[in-house]
Amino acid sequence: MTIVVGVTGGIAAYKAVSLVRTLVLAGHDVHVIPTEAALRFVGTPTWEAISRNPVEPGLYDGVAQVRHVALGQAADLIVIAPATANTIARLAHGLADDLLGNTVLASSAPLVVAPAMHTGMWQNPATQANASLLRARGAILVGPASGPLTGTDSGPGRMAEPDEIAEAALAAVRRADLAGRRVVVSAGGTREPLDPVRFLGNRSSGKQGVALARAAAMRGATVTLIAAHVDDGVPFPSGVEVVRVETTAQLREAVTRHAEDADAVIMAAAVADYRPTEVAERKIKKDRHGDRLNLALVANPDVLAELAAAKAPGRIVVGFAAETEPDREALLALGRAKIARKGCDFLVVNAVGWHEGIASDDNTVMVLDRAGDIVIEASGSKLSVADRILDATLGTA
């Protein structure tokens, strides 16, 4: 999702840094528009570093790209935190003498406003009337909270906590189109032990599968995430049942069991095709094998093909195909052969390489249906790609 965060000139601007960080870590494309006054509290380099996007706060910066309109049109959501009394007044009256004012006017995205000011200013009838006007037009006001203010006073006026603002902001755009659906998502890479200290694994980070679980849960689905190895620092979404597995056998058992009453199973996990024929009870020692060690491997069951073959009517089974084929037509041909072989309803095809696809925060995918036709192509953050995959496969576009 593309989110514009407007930051205005209050001391709580420093707390907006963590709001921006939360939204970025959740996979959103965040563009910060600080007002001139906000820059007296927190500077441009901080906003650029934390949002991972350039920040050009001036109305007359980048005029050729018509930014005063473009940002507002691109935004799926606008959050203003902190919103000073002055900003609330200006928003209420449609003033547009800076980039933020223009962006808000040019946008039809939901507007979330987190007021922050002294109690006296908040309770002033002028501010209250302006806040009511914004609410009446559909803006969502989060806070202010009550508590100690910057000076010695205490009372309503503190900016709501960044996590609360993020939660309210995301809830404002949340579609509940998957409410009542039960979705099982597998994610991460399975690991096949060789001995007590070693395994055969793969470089899957689990990010795309976890993003799918997060996106489905955000859209109201009841989600079970079967998580094989997922990289450190990839947070699991809240409100999702997480089942940890290690090997393909464990993943197969968990997925099959949870699939029984699921409406959809999405196999984003990178499942090991082979496992060692034997797992050594004790560490494999070099002095027994010398310069060459041959490992004997045996094929694992194909969980996806099993799920597709045994699926109840109405259950949707989605597979993934991460391929190292750089040529688009050849990649499509591999995808078409794979969906025919696996028998699933949809196949999400993406190109991977040493530096592409796997650990990255972004992805580029094509979704094929049973006929081998491309249903959608999507590119962007793994969370936005997850939403597009859900649109295409769970039929709620």
- Ordered DSSP codes for 213-249: HHHHHHTT-EEEEEE-B--TT-PPPTT-EEEE--SHH
Q: How far is the CB of 269 from ligand CTP (least distance, A)?
A: 5
Q: How far is the CB of 248 from ligand CTP (least distance, A)?
A: 6
Residue among 39, 330, 242, 16 nearest 142 (CA) = 16
- The rounded distance, in Å, linking the Cα atoms of 170 and 193 is 41
Clarify whether 124 is annotated catalytic. no
Nearest 5°: phi and psi at 49? Answer: -65, -40
* Stretch of 66-74, 124-132, 174-182, 267-275 lying at the interface with ligand CTP (CB under 6 A): 267-275
The sign of the CA dihedral 84, 86, 87, 92 is: positive
Q: Which residues of 323-353 are buried (b: 16+ CB within 10 A; e: fewer)?
A: bebeeeeebbebbbebbeebbbbbbbbbbbe
- Among 302, 345, 387, 391, which residue interacts with ligand CTP (rule: CB under 6 A)? 302
Nearest 5°: phi and psi at 171? Answer: -65, -30
DSSP label of 197: T
Q: How far is the CB of 267 from ligand CTP (least distance, A)?
A: 4
**Helix %, strand %, coil % for the chain, to 5?**
35, 25, 40
Q: Specify the DSSP element, H or E, that contains 323.
A: strand 316-323
* Stretch of 31-39, 137-145, 167-175, 302-310 lying at the interface with ligand CTP (CB under 6 A): 302-310
Check residue 172 for interaction with ligand CTP (CB under 6 A).
Answer: no
Q: How far is the CB of 231 from ligand CTP (least distance, A)?
A: 17
Check residue 218 for interaction with ligand CTP (CB under 6 A).
Answer: no
Site string for ligand CTP, 268-287 (x = CB under 6 A): -x-x-x--------------
Check residue 319 for interaction with ligand CTP (CB under 6 A).
Answer: yes
Candidate list 53, 130, 202, 363, residue with the active-site label:
202
Whichever of 127 and 204 has its CB closer to ligand CTP, that residue is 204
Check residue 303 for interaction with ligand CTP (CB under 6 A).
Answer: yes
* Stretch of 90-98, 123-131, 320-328, 364-372 lying at the interface with ligand CTP (CB under 6 A): 320-328
Site string for ligand CTP, 342-361 (x = CB under 6 A): --------------------
- The rounded distance, in Å, linking the Cα atoms of 1 and 75 is 8
Question: What is the longest distance spanned by two Cα atoms in the chain?
Answer: 84
* Cβ-based neighbours of 292, under 8 Å, separated by 6 or more: none
Check residue 367 for interaction with ligand CTP (CB under 6 A).
Answer: no
Q: How far is the CB of 319 from ligand CTP (least distance, A)?
A: 4
Check residue 185 for interaction with ligand CTP (CB under 6 A).
Answer: no
Residues with a catalytic annotation lie at: 202
| List of residues contacting ligand CTP (CB under 6 A) | 248, 267, 269, 271, 273, 300, 302-304, 319-322
